[in-house]
Structure formats: structure tokens, C-alpha cells
Amino acid sequence: MLDDMRVLREAVRDYRLTATAAGLDWPDQGESPAGQPPEQVYRIFGVEHIAEQLTWLQAQQWPDRQLLPNVGWRMPWPEDRDALNYLGLSIGTPFPWRHQMPLFFFDALLYTFVLAGDHEGEIWRYEISPDAWDSVRAAASLATLFDQWTRGIAAGVVVYDEQSRWLLVDDLGSAPELDPLAFPVTPLEETLLRTRQRECGVDMAIMEDGFTYTEELSDAIDAARASIGR
């Protein structure tokens, strides 16, 4: 889902204000207008347009530090075809594997922004492990994701660690009103994961044969990279 831009701006602003109130060093650098994605982004991901919601987020001047829960950081616009390598865990997604851009990186998780189709604007998450087939939607939109993180800080399940100066996810179980999938934690409770996968359209038959599909996806990524060139 693509957020109304006003809603997205407010969600990101509220997250920054709540995070700084908790202790995070994130000075207000003002809002930047939505820019234009680099030309290579269209070629890398095989799409004809890039949503304003993504270009706006990428245009914001954030400090060069981990600002997201569990030491997460926003990834820059990709520079070359190697960005497709990140998508090697996109098993069973209800959209073409290539139509998503790596956006947020955490210690053991990758969050992507879906670029096209009926799922445009959704945020999907993947565990960075060759044996983990956990493709699943983390949030219906960027604003939804930031709202969950904001509520997590307010509820005390995302806390500021003074020693590391990071925001860390503590005990999600103490806030049942929050969506665990929005938070960069592993492992997930399996029943919750499988239920959400079915709800968001993940092909469960493919998931059951993850090893075979991983090889097929790797071949598809190699072919796509070769077609792009440097």
C-alpha cells in the first residue's frame, strides 16, 4: 500500500521525536523534498516508475548512524546490479522477486520496499540465513512500519541503551497490541509466521521445497545480473 504523503511524513516525524525523547541522538535537519532515483534503479529492478513515498524517504538527510530498532539503518540507493544478490531469499513471494528494493538492514534481517504491482509500497522481511525460508510481509506500508516502531518505544519494548547508544527491542510479549513482524527480531514464533505467510499470499508449496527453489532463484538472479551489465 502506498501511503498518503502527509501520513508518511507524520509517521516518520513522530518516530524521530519519540526516538529522540527516548535518548537517541537524531537532530532535526529539516525535511527534504522527494528527489529522483538514480537511473540505474529502474534497470536493476526492472520497473518503469519509482513511488514518491520511496524517493521522499531516500531524500531525507539522516545522520550517518543506526537510527532504527536493533541497530538498523536505511540503505542507500543501489549503485549496481549486485543489489540483486540481496534478494536471494525472496522465496514464495506473491510478486516478482525482482520488484523490490533492499531498504532497511538489520543484524540478521533485510527489509525491502515492493516497487510495483498490487503489493506496491509494502515492506517485506527476510532472515539472512541460507536455511531460513521466512519471506513475509513486515508491514502494509512505510507509515505502518514507522508507527509500529513509534508505539514500540512508547510501550517500552524498544528501549534506548545508553552504553551502545542504540535502540534495542526488548520484550515484545509485554505489548500484545503490537505486531511482532514489524520488529526486526528473530526467531519468530512459527505459528504466527506461517499464519501471516498464508494471509499475505506466500506460496507455501514453494516454501516447503526451499532448497530447490533457492537454486532456481539463484539462477534467475545470475541471469538478471548478466542482462543488466555493469
pTM, full prediction? 0.96
Domains of the chain: residue spans and CATH? 5-228 (3.40.1580.10)
Q: Which residues of 139-164 are buried (b: 16+ CB within 10 A; e: fewer)?
A: bbbbbbbbbbbbbbbeeebbbbeeee
Q: Which three cell numbers stand for residue 88?
A: 536471494
Q: What is the pLDDT of residue 116?
A: 97
Q: What is the pLDDT of residue 111?
A: 98
Q: What is the pLDDT of residue 207?
A: 81
With a cut of 70, which residues of the chain have pLDDT below it?
A: 229-230
Instruction: Round to whole Å and give the CA distance between 99 and 180.
Output: 25
Q: What is the pLDDT of residue 187?
A: 85
Q: What is the pLDDT of residue 230?
A: 59
